[in-house]
Amino acid sequence: MEPMAFEPGQRIGDYEIVARLGAGGLGVVYEVRHLISARREAMKILSPEQSGTPEMVERFRREVQTLAALNHVHIAALHNAFYHENQLAMVMELIHGETLSERRRRAALTLPEVLDIATQVLQALVYAHRLGVVHRDIKPSNIMIAEGGVVKLLDFGIALREESSELTGAGYLMGSLNYMSPEQVSGKKATPRSDIYSVGVTLYELLTGTLPITGTSSYAIMLGHMEKVPAAPHQVAPLVPAAISNAVMRALAKDPADRFASAEEFLVALQQAQSGRELEETAVTLPLPKPEAMSSTPSGRSLSQQKTPSGSSLPNLPLEDVSRKLAVFIGPVAKIIVRKLAAQTDDMDTIYREAAKHIGSDTDRAAFLRSKRQ
């Protein structure tokens, strides 16, 4: 449902609505003017429709508290938060500029510009990670390029703090699938190294003009993040220096332990890759992913043609039925979970029992196990 709209000139607390800037997952963002200081700011408002969902209210409240703990030049700053007629609102700095998604569609970026953007994002993450905050949704549309080229990291709506409990049950996906780390895809808890993977995806896309993982379905993309190793950036775009390409590929390692240990280490690697040489001011063309690239599957074959693990009788097992039943409780990640279990055993009782462990609720877990008999 569309959040309630506020009109220019309408007052909310000590603020006057100037214009609507856009809508997000948790509400609508407006440009506002403080009635006393006359300062222009941005206000995000959680609508009554969303306020009726306890999880959304809690997620919005946590975003407020997370931003209140962060004070960094490359993170959009929180100025205030208050309730207006049972609507929670947060007031943030007004950033004049465009998102990285908008920027790359408008004009080509140069290699130095790409690396400068990545450097500023990583500087923001170095700071956030030291405070125990994992962003979990790094992507071009959450990166704002302000006037003067200053980069601001936006939208901490699904950020996770060390002292906070997870709001979403095991198996549910939080974040944007194209930029999501393998561990997030598999339903595991995100860590700072998950953000590093997402920065790697973003940097890969900026350098080559295409995403490292594509697919015709959510399942294909999820499987790709977990199993497919993309071509190195310098193999796709020859203008990319090999040292920078290697740094991106390390950030994209499937196993978190094989990635950079921290955002700071990733940042240092990019800086070292640039040292001792002048980067050519050659525009790196950044087109949208090609349509044909979107039709590819992780292995280059259709999913039905992919080989099953040796020693497993996957074709004879009712895996689609198990996946469908499990997906009711944990979403699309069910297919990957069932596929991995079936690669280990052909005993359906074991598959059901192990799959049930990914369901957070005892009641839902029991319902899933009962469904085996249906």
Residues of the chain with CATH 3.30.200.20: 11-93
Give the tens place of pLDDT for each residue, 165-214.
454 544 444 568 899 999 988 888 889 999 999 999 999 999 999 999 99
Residue 18's pLDDT is 96
Fold that domain 97-294 belongs to in CATH? Transferase(Phosphotransferase); domain 1 (1.10.510)
Residues of the chain with CATH 1.10.510.10: 97-294
Structure tokens at 44: 């995000």
With 0-12 / 13-18 / 19 or more C-beta atoms within 10 angstroms meaning exposed / middle / buried, residue 134 is buried
**pTM of the full structure:** 0.75
| Confidence class for position 50, pLDDT limits 50, 70, 90 | low
Task: Report the mean per-residue pLDDT for the chain.
Answer: 81
Give the tens place of pLDDT for each residue, 336-355.
778 778 877 878 888 888 88
Q: Which of 14, 116, 137, 346 is catalytic?
A: 137
| Residue 258 a catalytic site member | no
Closest of 88, 131, 124, 289 to residue 201, by C-alpha: 289
The CATH label, of 3.30.390.10, 2.60.120.560, 1.10.10.10, 3.30.200.20, for the domain at 11-93 is: 3.30.200.20
